[in-house]
């Protein structure tokens, strides 16, 4: 079922859709201020992305993906090669496509087909992508299990800021699947911003098991630029990965080095990571 409402007097948009995966919605805000007018994307009550309506600002990465975030700094550090290949589990509004350069390839994996429909209809990040950009619909892990190796240089997991927790994407077996699609020196960036759960011990356990060096990047928001506070963990296999210049925020450290939890397909427990 889909519900749509548009208030013509203020040109304010509210549109929502409900399916098996829940409710998503788009809300237009600051309609009387062209420089600050934005479209916000919500999954349930959690905001997952936004885009400025102003043509001069609509290509800017916002929300949890700005230049100062862990993923933004990672793109700046390693994302300048012409043949750079990026795999992203979780589409949102396609904000990360803003980092694509000519000749690069971005491949999004998205479970909810309504999310892709909203991303293309109400936002322009995918359409504005300077490289090649594909969206694969379906469970990201299952899609990757079926595909031939993709040879990603950067693999991003952005599925965890809402209340629904896709635990099967953070198990040892899931990361074994991801590993098959990564080049030997590939970087993995995991978004762990969450109100109620601290995923860092799980990522620390995975890093320890697979031989990654974890770096936690906690960044502050900037309301004028539409950027939110964000918590990312960047996983590398040593200095050859080229992210030595990624800066951690004051007080941020590697994720819970004294507390490592390795989830498997046979055992995972959310009570272990409650804040």
Q: What is the mean pLDDT of residues 87-97?
A: 97
Q: Under CATH, domain 70-273 is a member of which superfamily?
A: Vaccinia Virus protein VP39 (3.40.50.150)
**What pLDDT was estimated at residue 210?**
97
Measured in degrees and rounded to the nearest 5, phi and psi for residue 6 equal: -135, 125
Q: Output the average pLDDT for the chain.
A: 88
Tokens of 70: 């862990």
256 has pLDDT over 60: no
Of 81-85, 205-209, 213-217, 253-257, give the lowest mean pLDDT range: 253-257
Domain ranges of the chain: 2-52, 70-273
Q: What is the mean pLDDT of residues 126-132?
A: 97
**What pLDDT was estimated at residue 32?**
85
**What pLDDT was estimated at residue 3?**
37
Alpha-carbon gap, residue 75 to 65, rounded angstroms: 10
**What pLDDT was estimated at residue 22?**
83
The 10s digit of each residue's pLDDT in 135-184 is: 999 999 999 999 999 999 999 999 875 666 799 999 999 999 999 999 99
**What pLDDT was estimated at residue 46?**
86
Alpha-carbon gap, residue 196 to 115, rounded angstroms: 23
**What pLDDT was estimated at residue 93?**
96
Alpha-carbon gap, residue 268 to 123, rounded angstroms: 36
């Amino acid at each position: 079922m889909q519900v749509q409402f548009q208030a013509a007097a203020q040109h304010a948009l509210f549109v929502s859709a409900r399916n098996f995966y829940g409710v998503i919605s788009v809300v237009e805000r600051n309609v009387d201020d062209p420089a600050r007018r934005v479209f916000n994307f919500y999954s349930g009550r959690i905001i997952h992305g936004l885009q400025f309506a102003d043509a001069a600002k609509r290509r800017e990465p916002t929300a949890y993906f700005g230049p100062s975030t862990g993923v933004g700094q990672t793109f700046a550090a390693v994302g300048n090669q012409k043949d750079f290949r990026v795999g992203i589990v979780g589409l949102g509004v396609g904000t990360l496509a803003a980092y694509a350069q000519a000749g690069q390839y971005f491949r999004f994996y998205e479970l909810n087909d309504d999310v892709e429909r909203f991303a293309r209809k109400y936002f322009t990040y995918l359409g504005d992508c300077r490289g090649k950009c594909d969206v694969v619909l379906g469970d990201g892990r299952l899609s990757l299990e079926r595909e031939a190796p993709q040879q990603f240089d950067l693999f991003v997991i952005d599925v965890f800021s809402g209340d629904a927790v896709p635990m099967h994407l953070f198990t040892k077996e899931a990361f074994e699947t991801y590993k098959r699609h990564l080049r030997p020196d590939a970087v993995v960036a995991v978004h762990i911003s969450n109100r109620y759960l601290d995923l860092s011990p799980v990522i620390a356990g995975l890093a320890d098991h697979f031989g990654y060096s974890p770096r936690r990047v906690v960044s502050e928001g900037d309301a004028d630029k539409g950027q939110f506070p964000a918590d990312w963990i960047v996983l590398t296999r040593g200095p050859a990965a080229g992210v030595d210049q990624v800066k951690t925020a004051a007080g941020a450290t590697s994720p819970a080095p004294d507390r490592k939890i390795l989830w498997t397909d046979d055992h995972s427990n959310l009570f272990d990571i409650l804040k």
